[in-house]
Structure 1
């Protein structure tokens, strides 16, 4: 099962935890800490706008709680969980 999430009001790391919890049918607090897979602050920083305000584009993929999480930023960050 795959879930794709377009950035909303939540930060990227919150979207990841919430998305995996939804796929697993569990409470987000029941999942292992995301920090065990990736540093949430570093993840947010990777996709933060530059000092000049230009959006950064790129892609990062990592395993978390038995799923592969892919974050792609072009116009908006998109989180895909497989």
Structure 2
């Protein structure tokens, strides 16, 4: 899927998993018109089902969007940033943004079901 000139490739197509949860991948295009945080907001919307125009949705509650855009945008000479990443949690989803524009979102793990031993016959 393309959104804001960004290719979105879910982990189901990649065949990669993080624990029992599907990891959702997005690749931001730094040469496109969208900011990194715009790509991130749309990816979070895709994963959570919360519309980015919903007034309850704001990245500011989790990360400073302007700082993140500055942190990962290409250097003044146009060369890309390398070997960096930022991880944080949004609504239980582990989000990792890499300097190459890759974004990985891991949904919260389901709580473990209580183990039940063999049932004793009723008397």
TM over 0.5: yes
Hey, what's the Cα distance between the residues in 2 that align with 1:25 and 1:7?
Answer: 20
Unaligned 5+ residue runs, structure 2? 1-21, 107-123
Q: Cα offset for 1:15?
A: 1.4
Q: RMSD between aligned alpha carbons?
A: 1.6
Q: TM-score, normalised by structure 2?
A: 0.57
Q: Which has the higher contact order (CA 8 A, sep 6+)?
A: 1
CA deviation map 1:22-59 (0-9, x unaligned): 11223123353101111111001111222233211211
Unaligned 5+ residue runs, structure 1? none
* Alignment of structure 1 residues 1-82 onto 2, 5 Å: 1-8=22-29, 9=32, 10-30=34-54, 31-57=56-82, 58-73=84-99, 76-82=100-106
Q: Cα offset for 1:13?
A: 0.7
Q: TM-score, normalised by structure 1?
A: 0.82
- Regions of 4+ moved over 6 Å: none
